[in-house]
Chain A
Amino acid sequence: MKAPSPTRVRTIALVGNPNSGKSTLFNLLTGLRQKTGNFPGITVDLKEGRLRLPGGAEVVLTDLPGAYSLYPTSTDERMVAAILSHPDNPHYPDALIYVADVTHLEKHLLLLTQLLDLQIPVLLVLNMADTANSLGLKVHPNKLSEQLGIPVVSISSRTGENLSKLLSEIEKLLDGVKLPSKGFYSLTEVEKKLSDAVRLNTQIDNPYQALLLAHHYSWLPGLSESLRREIDAIVRDKQFNSLKHQVEETLDRYDHFTPIVREAVQYPPRFPSTVTDRIDAVLTHRWIGPAVFAVVMLLVFQAIYDWSALPMDLIEAAFSEGSNFLGAHLPEHWATGLLLDGILAGLSGVLVFVPQIAVLFFLITLLEEVGYMARVVFMFDRFMRRFGMNGRSIVSLISGGACAVPAIMSTRTIGNWKERLITILVTPFITCSARIPVYVILIGLVVPAQKVWGIFSLQSLTFAGMYVIGIASALGSGYVLKQLFRTRERSYLALELPVYRLPHWRNLWLTVWEKVRAFAIEAGRIILVISVILWALANFGPGTSLQEAQNKALAEARLQALSPEQTQNLVATYRLEASYAGQIGRHFEPLIRPLGYDWKIGIALFSSLAAREVFTGTLAVLYQLGDAESAVAERGENTAKATLRRRMQAEKFSDTGRPVYTLATAFSLLVFYALAMQCMSTLAVVRRETGSWKWPILQFAGMTLLAYLAAWAVYNVFI
């Protein structure tokens, strides 16, 4: 046990089953004073927030993931078990708040009884008091408190009912440091012997904690190798069957707490057929269910475009105005270039995607909050398993439609490692926000703006086709990976389908805020760094080559009597050709020529390594658009789009004189962008989530090779 010292800020952890309303209570208590910590060594982020108690003391409140038991079956549950199984864990709390859904108390107290045996001070919060009243449930918190020997507060995290009472109870809990008087579960003879042996070898005093160590030693983080070996020897010696004992212990706990709940909660004679049953009769129906899902997805993606168009335009306009203003007022110096074309361009490239990402996560979280996503998981579990994933993967894949970075982080709810890994590896195939501007400009360039069957525009159909390519390659590679990976780990669905309820708006906004932050910080900083590196590569060259190129351009301009603006453009082009970036582009030309690309596209492909959307910006520079034009051209709109398109159409191969942008080249580029792994931010997140460089490297190699071969094939079909 940690010695309670007066100087240290004390920590309280929120625990409870999934769907107990735990996170809602956390948001209610901490609001925006929370942050998602990224702790080394654990794959799941912990949310922490500060909370001021009525007496003035400040405590740290940690939101642990939802768990049913200290015997974990998912990554989330493992973390809860890891933190609470060993007092040496850095997140071991001073006290616990256990949140239980009062309408399902009979199913929600298992974990609480395990915590009672750990002797951590704990407070039971009966959530959803408002729902209980409307269902005709009669709850007697005093009886529960008496029987369990801990304080019990009945609240509603929806209405905020009784919240101040909860705060003062938390205070009393911390001040009193009164441990629960009695344990709950009596260890069997075998368990007692095992526990005693473990306690002899460790500092652990609590018999149940020692037993947990014997159950979990093989994977528990933070154990020394010698201790692991010792416990292993003890477990083998006693021939301890962990699984069997877990189940027996669980059943014994139910036998003991079910009568307590029955006495404290009076259920109505029978629950009426609820709204949820009637809604599910439609939404999970054999035929209607998937149809409704398809319509919902169409509406979601329609909303992304409709709702985010205006803010995206505003962000771009602001950056382009700001950049112009600074450009006019700052001295001509390389530092100005770094600021405007490196840093500001990078920032704008990050921020412009925020509206789309915010809208998509708003809608996904809304569907999750009301309880619909659990039904989607139920309906599509079988379908996704054919492709090596499980029903939960669907949520990640949909999120991938905004940005793969938060989408990959959301795979943590997938318990089975093989299915989670496959989901992580294939999510980047889904068409993300950054591919859209590239698709828009290329499709606008080569696909004629005509109607098919009178209603669909050919361009929109091609655009929709790009989404289909993304989904098909995600599922297809999932199928291939499923055959390649072998695992003996069990995969479960066993998912609770929560009652439909109105969304908690506070939860929604906080989740959207969190996802946008994850994108801006995880992806943003990498995009920014690469943007600066690319700026340097494009503005510096070996030796005096840049100066020579400039002189050559100036001489040529004088010869042809070009206008000052034309001269400036010519200088920019010659300089870029001579720069490191230009050399890299030329260097790669033989490699990409079979796909129909010239060295300028090579530079654009290379700069897309920062993030795909850089493609249009780079081409705008290469085809000598003014700065103001290129800023707008990134979204491929208005006159700048037309200008860039004209320049691209006029572009010819220098040796053969044939136009560069034929249908074949454009389709080849489209396919390349659909399939290639061009996002360093995603690779960084994959490395973090999988804990090794092996997977991001394989992912990069596999996707890029696939993109190369497919683009080559497409080019040769259309040429």
Chain B
Amino acid sequence: MIKRYRTVAHLKSRECARAIRIEDPALAGRLTAMGVLPGSLIEMIRPAPFGQTYYIKADGVRLALRKEEAQNILVEA
């Protein structure tokens, strides 16, 4: 499958991008409540020791996200 969008899971360490939208509605409910919004500036900090989990900043707020969660946040290319 060709990926037309980039997601937060594609970001490299220290890379920033603006979120466009969150795909999964249930997850969107949780993430928006925590302040990850369309237009938020997302910065990838580092992956977790066992992988599959990311340490990110959304508008300066530090968050831990699973890979499935990060893959649902689309960012500007």
Q: Are B62 and A494 in contact (CB under 8 A)?
A: no
Asked whether B65 is an interface residue with its Cβ less than 8 Å from the other chain, the reply is yes
Q: Are A107 and B61 in contact (CB under 8 A)?
A: yes
Interface mask (A378-410 → B, CB under 8 Å = 1, otherwise 0): 111111000000010000000000000000000
**Which single member of B29, B45, B50, B51 contacts A247 (CB below 8 Å)?**
B29
Which of chain A's residues have a CB closer than 8 A to the CB of B51?
382
Q: Are B29 and A378 in contact (CB under 8 A)?
A: no
Asked whether A278 is an interface residue with its Cβ less than 8 Å from the other chain, the reply is no
Stretch at the interface among A2-10, A284-292, A580-588: A284-292
Q: Are A496 and B53 in contact (CB under 8 A)?
A: no
Which of chain A's residues have a CB closer than 8 A to the CB of B65?
493-494
CA distance A106 to B52 in the complex (A): 29
**Which single member of B29, B45, B46, B62 contacts A73 (CB below 8 Å)?**
B29
Q: Are A381 and B35 in contact (CB under 8 A)?
A: no
Interface centre among B33, B34, B53, B61 (most CB of A within 10 A): B33
How many whole Å from A64's CB to the nearest CB in chain B?
16
Which of chain A's residues have a CB closer than 8 A to the CB of B12?
none
Which of chain A's residues have a CB closer than 8 A to the CB of B28?
243, 247
CA distance A499 to B62 in the complex (A): 8
Q: Are A494 and B37 in contact (CB under 8 A)?
A: no
Number of residue pairs A-B, CB distance < 8 angstroms = 116
Q: Are B64 and A286 in contact (CB under 8 A)?
A: no
How many whole Å from A117's CB to the nearest CB in chain B?
15
Which of chain A's residues have a CB closer than 8 A to the CB of B63?
494-497
CA distance A498 to B53 in the complex (A): 17
Q: Are B53 and A493 in contact (CB under 8 A)?
A: yes
User: Which of A97-156 touch B at CB < 8 Å?
Assistant: 104, 106-107, 110-111
Which of chain A's residues have a CB closer than 8 A to the CB of B60?
104, 271
CA distance A246 to B27 in the complex (A): 11
Q: Are B66 and A286 in contact (CB under 8 A)?
A: no
Interface mask (B26-41 → A, CB under 8 Å = 1, otherwise 0): 1111111111011000
Q: Are A107 and B34 in contact (CB under 8 A)?
A: yes
A contact patch SS: helix
Q: Are A380 and B55 in contact (CB under 8 A)?
A: no
**Which single member of B32, B38, B61, B69 contacts A496 (CB below 8 Å)?**
B61
User: Which of A268-288 touch B at CB < 8 Å?
Assistant: 271, 276, 280, 284-287
Contact status of A380 and B33, CB under 8 A, knowing A247-B25, A247-B28: no
Q: Are A383 and B61 in contact (CB under 8 A)?
A: no
How many whole Å from B63's CB to the nearest CB in chain A?
6
Which of chain B's residues have a CB closer than 8 A to the CB of A254?
32, 37
How many whole Å from A239's CB to the nearest CB in chain B?
15
Q: Are B64 and A377 in contact (CB under 8 A)?
A: yes
Size category, A interface: 35 or more
CA distance A251 to B59 in the complex (A): 16
Interface centre among A247, A254, A490 (most CB of B within 10 A): A247
Q: Are A492 and B61 in contact (CB under 8 A)?
A: no
Which of chain B's residues have a CB closer than 8 A to the CB of A284?
46, 48-49, 55
Q: Are B53 and A378 in contact (CB under 8 A)?
A: yes
Q: Are B59 and A107 in contact (CB under 8 A)?
A: yes
Contact status of A71 and B37, CB under 8 A, knowing A107-B61, A284-B48, A496-B62: no
Interface mask (A485-517 → B, CB under 8 Å = 1, otherwise 0): 000001011111111000000000000000000
Number of interface residues of B (CB under 8 A): 33
Which of chain B's residues have a CB closer than 8 A to the CB of A490?
26-27
CA distance A443 to B34 in the complex (A): 51
B contact patch SS: mixed
Q: Are A286 and B34 in contact (CB under 8 A)?
A: no
Which of chain A's residues have a CB closer than 8 A to the CB of B29?
69, 71, 73, 243, 246-247, 250
Which of chain A's residues have a CB closer than 8 A to the CB of B46?
284-286
Which of chain B's residues have a CB closer than 8 A to the CB of A370?
none
**Which single member of B34, B37, B64 contacts A68 (CB below 8 Å)?**
B34
Asked whether A220 is an interface residue with its Cβ less than 8 Å from the other chain, the reply is no
Interface centre among B26, B50, B62 (most CB of A within 10 A): B62
Across the two chains, which residue of chain B brings its CB closest to A497?
A: B62
Contact status of A495 and B64, CB under 8 A, knowing A378-B53, A382-B52: yes
Q: Are B37 and A493 in contact (CB under 8 A)?
A: no
CA distance A497 to B34 in the complex (A): 12
Q: Are A280 and B64 in contact (CB under 8 A)?
A: no
How many whole Å from A439's CB to the nearest CB in chain B?
31
User: Which of A429-479 touch B at CB < 8 Å?
Assistant: none
How many whole Å from A146's CB to the nearest CB in chain B?
24
How many whole Å from A141's CB to the nearest CB in chain B?
21
Which of chain B's residues have a CB closer than 8 A to the CB of A496?
34, 61-63
Which of chain B's residues have a CB closer than 8 A to the CB of A694?
none
Q: Are B61 and A378 in contact (CB under 8 A)?
A: no
CA distance A69 to B33 in the complex (A): 6
Q: Are A494 and B31 in contact (CB under 8 A)?
A: yes
User: Which of A281-306 touch B at CB < 8 Å?
Assistant: 284-287, 289-290
How many whole Å from A77's CB to the nearest CB in chain B?
9
Which of chain A's residues have a CB closer than 8 A to the CB of B34?
68, 107, 494, 496
Q: Are B49 and A494 in contact (CB under 8 A)?
A: no
Q: Are B48 and A106 in contact (CB under 8 A)?
A: no
User: Which of A199-246 touch B at CB < 8 Å?
Assistant: 243-244, 246
Which of chain B's residues have a CB closer than 8 A to the CB of A499?
62
CA distance A391 to B66 in the complex (A): 11
Across the two chains, which residue of chain A brings its CB closest to B58?
A: A107
**Which single member of A104, A244, A251, A381 contacts B66 (CB below 8 Å)?**
A381
Which of chain B's residues have a CB closer than 8 A to the CB of A247?
22, 25, 28-29, 32
Across the two chains, which residue of chain A brings its CB closest to B62?
A: A497
Asked whether A374 is an interface residue with its Cβ less than 8 Å from the other chain, the reply is yes
Which of chain A's residues have a CB closer than 8 A to the CB of B25?
243-244, 246-247
**Which single member of B27, B37, B55 contacts A378 (CB below 8 Å)?**
B55
The 5 closest A-B pairs by CB, nearest first: A107-B35, A69-B33, A68-B33, A378-B64, A497-B62
Cross-chain pairs A/B with CB under 8 angstroms, 5 sampled: A68-B34, A71-B29, A284-B46, A285-B46, A496-B61
Question: Apart from A247-B32, A382-B52, A497-B62, what are 6 other A-B pairs with CB-CB below 8 Å?
Answer: A247-B28, A374-B64, A377-B64, A381-B66, A493-B53, A496-B63
